[in-house]
Amino acid sequence: MFHKEGYKILVSSLVGLIIINLLSNLLIDKQWIVTAIFLATFVMFILIAQFFRNPKRHVKRNEKNILSPVDGKVVAIEKVFESEFVNEERLQVSIFMSPINVHVTRYPIGGKILYTKYHPGKFFVAWHPKSSEENERTTVVVETQNFGNILFRQIAGAVARRIVNYAEEEKIAIQGEDSGFIKFGSRVDLFLPVDSEISVSMNDHVKGGESIILKAK
């Protein structure tokens, strides 16, 4: 199953690869070269397709839990001052998505969407300390019953050059549902209450919509 954001790219890639193979058959006499081109283009298409896969997730909705918004690896757990919206110290949990991870972003918690904003920016590698504030990114804030205002941020990296954000202010976020997509990987930051006792550790691998990041006290 593929994500809707990938349909146009997959179709155009497939058409392009078919044309390349037809031309190679017409213009190249050596069969081994034609075969090599076919294998290379086939592998290329498979790699592109895996970026846009969207496997079904078994989301156990519970407003006393904050779920991981994406698949990936926990690369940062630190106290920071969040200055865009909450203007207070928060516990930042950063999840890095490699090119082989599923790239769907999901709402980590349900509630009213108070704020959403796109920021153009640079393309530092996603683990760079400045990426959270200087890279292309989107910020979403959800008002919750048990955790106050929860902010999460999609961040582009050196490879990811297209962030899609579905959040709209005043709409209701549903935990585990799609909130966006980062084409070709990168990172998502969660900004949690500073006294949170989170359920993950550095270098843990998490699954979007399933792994629990934080439980209400």
- Give the Å distances, CA to CA, from 9 to 13, 23, 97, 145: 6, 21, 20, 39
Can you give the pLDDT at residue 29? Answer: 83
Enter the pTM of the model: 0.79
Can you give the pLDDT at residue 147? Answer: 94
Residues in the chain predicted with pLDDT less than 50, given as ranges, are none
Can you give the pLDDT at residue 126? Answer: 56
Asked if 73 contacts 98 with a C-beta cutoff of 8 angstroms, the reply is yes
Can you give the pLDDT at residue 133? Answer: 65
Hey, what amino acid is at 129? P
CATH fold of 65-215: Glucose Permease (Domain IIA) (2.70.70)
Could you list the active site residues?
186
Asked if 182 contacts 156 with a C-beta cutoff of 8 angstroms, the reply is yes
Can you give the pLDDT at residue 214? Answer: 95
